[in-house]
Amino acid sequence: MPLNRITWRDRLRRDRSLLLMTLPAVGLLVVFAYVPMLGNVIAWQDYSPYVGITNSPFVGWDNFVRVFNNPQFLHAVGNTLLITGFQLVFFFPIPIVLALLLNSVVTPTIRTTIQSIIYLPHFFSWVLVVTIFQQIFGGAGLVNRLLAQGGFSGFDLMTNPDTFLLLITSQAVWKDAGWGIIIFLAALATVDPAHYEASAMDGAGRWRRMWHITLPAIRPVIILLLILRLGDALTVGFEQLILQRGAVGAGVAEVIDTYVYYQGVVNGDWAFAAAAGLVKGLVSLALVLGANKLAHVFGEDGVYRKS
């Protein structure tokens, strides 16, 4: 029987085992991801946790007006976009380059060893990562002690606002670049070796093979991850930044997530924080949809295929 003639009842009966297997995961998703969305109603209230949602007065769009008229929030948005743009240029391509380099390593033992080494930092917490950088690049760190022994003046990279952007990007690269190559290596594993052999017989060098075979093979994956990264453009690492905010100051380390935390949790302005978080979520959704539409224009599938 053709698939398009199967009724939805027949499909439910046919796939009932698979559907039952997914029910626990769907239940967890609903309880912990969708039910909490109902709490966004406090963005339209003068909310107080002491009286609850039902007894908090409705104030309309006042909280959203406060968000867009707040210079500190706009400053946090500017810092967030600056960090995102910088890391999009100097961090996003690094896993691609690492995957291409590892893919060119012929010896499996060497490749596995390198992969294990660069995967390891991903499993470190941000507390440990910041501590390691502090012990190396801090005012009393290893680098400064070596410079002092050589008669040179030291520096404190961990408390310098001018180099903070470079610092957090370096931390992100060291921690997550190795982990990010997994999906690219999986895409490269699907390339038929016969393509490389045929191109080599036609006289194509290493760079030609990479440009015409390897990169086109992982282009859909690159575009998909780029779209997802744009969706997270307003999320740049809450834990990493809040750990170092006190050392360099809020002027360079304040982003949307840290601002919402201090405004809502620390200062108790829950309604304002909810409105700011809701604005962030809607902008992120618009970025994903816009980037996905752009991918369709260039003939790629993006997050979903164009119907």
The C-alpha atoms of residue 184 and residue 180 are separated, in whole angstroms, by 8
The answer for residues whose C-beta is within 8 angstroms of residue 293's C-beta and 6 or more apart is 302
pLDDT digits (tens, 9 = 90+) for 206-217: 888 888 888 888
The C-alpha atoms of residue 158 and residue 165 are separated, in whole angstroms, by 11
26 class by beta-carbon count within 10 Å (0-12 exposed, 13-18 middle, 19+ buried): exposed
Q: Tell me, yes or no, if the pTM score tops 0.75.
A: yes
What is the pLDDT, as a whole number, of residue 1? Answer: 46
The C-alpha atoms of residue 256 and residue 228 are separated, in whole angstroms, by 18
Residue 116 structure tokens = 């294990």
What is the pLDDT, as a whole number, of residue 265? Answer: 87
The answer for residues whose C-beta is within 8 angstroms of residue 21's C-beta and 6 or more apart is none
pLDDT digits (tens, 9 = 90+) for 164-188: 999 999 999 999 998 889 888 888 8
pLDDT digits (tens, 9 = 90+) for 62-120: 999 999 999 999 999 999 999 999 999 999 999 999 988 888 876 888 888 888 899 99
